[in-house]
Amino acid sequence: MRAPIHSSNRSPRLALLATSLGFVIICLDVTVVNVALARMRDGLQIDSTALEWVGNAYTLAFASLLLTAGALADRLGARRVFVGGFAVFTCASIGCALSDGAGMLVASRAVQGVGAALCVPSSMALLGAAFPDADARAKAVSIWAGTAALALGAGPLVGGLLVDRFGWPSIFLINVPIGVAGIWLTLAHAPETLRHAARRIDLAGQTLAVVTLAALTYAVVESGRLGWTSTIVLSGLTISVVMAALFITVEARSAQPLLPLALFRSAAVSVSALTGWSLNFGYYGLMFAMSLFFQSVRHDTPLETGLAFLPMTAVVTVANLVSGRLTARFGYRLPMLYGQALAALGYLALVFVHADSSALAIALPLLAVGSGVALAVPSINTAVLMHVGPSRVGIASGVLNSARQIGGVVGVGVFGSLVRPESNDMVAGLHIAVALAFATTLLSLVVARTRLEQRQSAIAKCAG
C-alpha cells in the first residue's frame, strides 16, 4: 500500500472542478443525445431499435464495468484511473462524431461507456481524499452531484442548440476541450488516494455481470419490435435470470468478489442503491421518451425540444444545493425521501399529458421530476460515503452507480419499447411508461422509508 501524495500547491476546489467536469460530460452525453435522435435516424438511416442501442450501448458498458472500475480505483489509485477514463471517453467522443453508420456509432458509444465507468467511482474517491472533513465533503458531493444533475437537465437544450447550428456530430465534439481541461486539472490538483495492492479483479464475476446485463438489455430493447412473447425476447430474459443467479452464487463464494454482498447489510447502502435504480429508471426513460414525443408527436425542432426541457434545467442546481444543505444539517434521509415523493408526483401528472397539452401542463410535471431527482441524488452519494470505510469507497461507489446505470438501461429499454415513432399511438405508450415510473418510484420510497426507520429504531435500542 502506498501513501497518498500530498502537495501544498494543490487546490481542493480545483480538484472538485476536475471531478465535476468528468461527471458533467458523462451525464451530458446521457441526455444530449436524446434531442439528436431524430437527426441521427434521418442522417444515418437507422430505425428505432438502433436508436435505443445508441443510448443503451453507452449505458450498458457504463453499468457493466462500474464495479470493476471501483476495484481498480482502490487497487491502482483513484487519480490514475480517473485520468485514464477521462482520456478514453474523450477519444471515443471523436469516434462518435466521425461515425458514418449505426455500427460505428454504437461501438464508439460503448467505448464512451467504458471511459465513463472508469471515471465515476474514482471521482467519488478523489472527493473523499480532497475533502477529509465530513461537512466539507457533504457540500463537495452536493456540488459534484449538482453539476451532473445540471448537465442532465441542460443536455436537451445544449444538444438542441448544437444540432440546429452544427449538426448532430457536434454534440460529441464538445466533449474534447472539456476532456483536455479536466485531465489537466486532475493531474495538477487532485490528490492521489491510497493504493490497496491486495485488491484483486474478479474476472468470473465481471464476465457474468456483462452477460447478465447484455441479455437483459437486448431482451428489453427488442421487445418493442418483436413483442414480449417473442422467443428471442423470452430467451434473453431467461439467460439474464440464469446468469444473475450464477453471478450471485460466484460472488457469495469469492474471497474478493466483484460485488461484496455484505455491503447490502448496511441499510444506507441497500436503500441508496434501490433509490438510485428507481431514479434513473424513470429519469433516463422519460428523457428518451419525451424527446421522441416532442419531435414525433408535437413536431418540434431539436432546439424547441431543448427549450421544452428548460424549466427542468432551471431548478436543478438550486435543488442540489438545497439537498446538500439539508443533508449536512438533518442527514441524508430527508432529501432522499422527499425527492422521491416529488418525482413520483411529476410522473403521475404526466399521465394526463396529450399531444395538444399546453406548454405549462407539460413543463410543471417535468419540473417536479427534475427537482425531485436533483434533491435525492446527493443524499444517496453522501449516505454511501458516510457508511463505508476508506478502503471500500471505490467499490461501494461502483455498486451505487451500477444500480443507477442499470436502472437507466432498463428505463430507456422499457420506455423505448412503449414509445416508438412507428406506433399508431405514441401518447398511450407514454402514459403507460410514466405510470410505470410512478409505481417504481413510489415502491422505492416506501422501501427506503421502512428500511431507514428500522435502522433508526435499531440504533435507538442499542443506545438505550
- Report if residue 410 sits inside a domain: yes
Residues 334 and 222 in one domain: no
C-beta of residue 453 within 8 angstroms of C-beta of residue 337 = no
Angstrom distance (rounded) from CA 375 to CA 354: 27
**4 pLDDT exceeds 60?**
no
**320 pLDDT exceeds 60?**
yes
- Please, which contacts does 238-244 make with residues 24 or more away whose CB atoms are closer than 8 Å? 239/211, 239/215, 240/212, 240/213, 240/215, 240/216, 243/208, 243/211, 243/212, 243/215, 244/212
Confidence (pLDDT) at 455: 65
Confidence (pLDDT) at 90: 93
**440 pLDDT exceeds 70?**
yes
In the predicted model, what is the mean pLDDT of the chain?
81
Confidence (pLDDT) at 460: 52
C-beta of residue 119 within 8 angstroms of C-beta of residue 187 = no
- Report if residue 3 sits inside a domain: no
Q: Residue 325's Cα: distance from chain center in Å?
A: 22
Angstrom distance (rounded) from CA 416 to CA 413: 5
Confidence (pLDDT) at 92: 94
Angstrom distance (rounded) from CA 212 to CA 214: 6
Boundary-marking domain end, from 211, 227, 257: 257
**3 pLDDT exceeds 70?**
no
Question: Buried b vs exposed e over 395-415: b needs ≥16 C-beta within 10 Å?
Answer: bbbbbbbbbbbbbbbbbbbbb
Residues 39 and 181 in one domain: yes
Q: What average pLDDT does the segment 15-31 reach?
A: 80
Amino acid at site 134: A
Angstrom distance (rounded) from CA 230 to CA 36: 30
- Domain span at 233: 203-257
Which among 317, 315, 309, 274 is positioned nearest to 289, based on CA atoms? 309
C-alpha cell at 454: 428500522
Residues 277 and 364 in one domain: yes
Q: Which residue has the cell 410512478?
A: 438
Q: What average pLDDT does the segment 331-353 reach?
A: 89
- Report if residue 41 sits inside a domain: yes
**331 pLDDT exceeds 80?**
no
Q: Place 89 in a pLDDT band, splitting at 50, 70 and 90.
A: very high
Q: What average pLDDT does the segment 133-140 reach?
A: 74
- Report if residue 247 sits inside a domain: yes
Confidence (pLDDT) at 188: 80
Confidence (pLDDT) at 91: 94
The CA-based angle 119-58-442, given to 5 degrees, is 90
Boundary-marking domain end, from 237, 257, 277: 257
Residues 386 and 431 in one domain: yes
Low-confidence winner among 255-264, 271-280, 309-318, 452-461 (lowest mean pLDDT) = 452-461
- Report if residue 4 sits inside a domain: no
Domain total of the chain? 2
Confidence (pLDDT) at 309: 78
Residues 152 and 163 in one domain: yes
**197 pLDDT exceeds 60?**
no
Higher-confidence residue of 317 and 312: namely 312
The total of other beta-carbon atoms located within 10 Å of residue 253's CB is: 8
Residues 219 and 181 in one domain: no
Residues 163 and 151 in one domain: yes
Q: Which residue has the cell 435502522?
A: 455
Q: What average pLDDT does the segment 142-164 reach?
A: 76
- Report if residue 2 sits inside a domain: no
Low-confidence winner among 59-63, 348-352, 427-431 (lowest mean pLDDT) = 59-63
Residues 162 and 233 in one domain: no
- Report if residue 43 sits inside a domain: yes
Q: What average pLDDT does the segment 234-249 reach?
A: 92
Residues 243 and 272 in one domain: no
Residues 43 and 147 in one domain: yes
| Domain CATH number, residue 146 | 1.20.1250.20
pLDDT in tens, 390-412: 666 666 776 787 788 788 878 88
What angle separates helix 393-418 from helix 359-387, to the nearest 10 degrees?
A: 160
pLDDT in tens, 357-369: 888 888 899 989 9
Residues 237 and 266 in one domain: no
Q: Residue 239's Cα: distance from chain center in Å?
A: 25
Residues 322 and 435 in one domain: yes
